[in-house]
Amino acid sequence: MEKRILGKDLTVSAISLGCMGMTHAAGAPADVKEMTQLIHEAVDMEYRYFDTAECYTGVNPDGSTAYNEELVGPALKPYRDKVVLATKCGVQHSPNGLLLDSRPETIRKALEGSLKRLDTDYVDLYYQHRIDPDVSPEEVAETMAELIKEGKILHWGISETDEEYLRRAHAVCPVTCIQNRYSMMYREYDKLFPTLEELNIGYVAFSPLANGVLSDRYSKDSRFEKGTDYRSFMPQFKPEAFEENKDLFTLIRELAEEKNATPAQISLAWMINKKPYIVPIPGTRKLDRLKENAGAADIRLTPDEINAIEKRLDEMEMSEVFGGSRAAKK
């Protein structure tokens, strides 16, 4: 698979794997043996970046906690020197929303827990999962710089950042990449491209298929498990949304036919051909989808084709799309 460089020197696969849905937000946790085999298949397909977080948890049938890191880390142990292992700190889930805590002592404690669950001595890429308004970007960056000096992390990034926060953090300790939401349905962060290019910072795109709806494998009759599958309340999966998004589906179907590809592959190829520093991390539990997503790296779209797609996206009506969980009040 084509490789890309995030920041100064972090080499990853053009299409990488988001592992969250294996235990969190996509239904009851998947079988550990099956997901371990899927991760091994991904390595064989030359996926080289695997994304997890300390807060990606679910509840097993026996009532125990399914930690995503305890799945991903051991699965990658045979390939540890070949892959980029990324995890995150600073967020915990609660019934009232996301609990944000990026104090230095919390970051250090979180990292120690992650290293233990991942069964590794270091993390290739460590993210601040969300901005904590009570902790300055300089203080977070100083903590990350210390962890880099200690060899516990090799690079760091920020998820769902804005320009001001990114610049202030980067001035203290160079940021390798951001990880922000991005898809044909959510292009709010196009405004960050000039800053990323100026500072040589990569863009890891999460939810690149708008939580799967851009795979064109769902319909108004699709149903999801309430309570454990977040798609059950996402606006882009409501029955009426499929009518509201008909022009978008028409676009990706037309392009898929033209390029002998699938709608999902077009949705991913659009962003990786748009900028050389964008790396999408679609998630899946299925081997066929893993292969399908990897195939997007082989699709070429010219600058003129990208511009034509952008123009159509700008002009069409779309439904609302899930923009993430809100922070809880402290």
Among all residues, which ones are annotated catalytic?
56
Residues 6+ apart with CB under 8 A from 108: 143, 147
Q: Which of 254, 227, 234, 212 is nearest to 325 (CA)?
A: 234
Residue with tokens 């299409």: 15
The answer to whether 165 and 130 are in contact (CB under 8 A) is no
Q: Which of 120, 112, 115 is nearest to 80 (CA)?
A: 120
Q: Which of 209, 127, 218 is nearest to 169 (CA)?
A: 127
Cα Rg of the chain, angstroms: 19
DSSP assignment of 202-221: EEEEESTTTTTGGGS---TT
What phi and psi values does residue 12 have, to the nearest 5 degrees? -135, 170
Angle separating helix axes 137-149 and 104-118, nearest 10 degrees? 40
Region of 58 on the Ramachandran plot (φ > 0 left; ψ -120 to 50 alpha; else beta)? beta
Residues 6+ apart with CB under 8 A from 289: 215, 264, 282
Distance CA 226, CA 248 (A): 27
Whats the size of the chain, residue-wise?
330
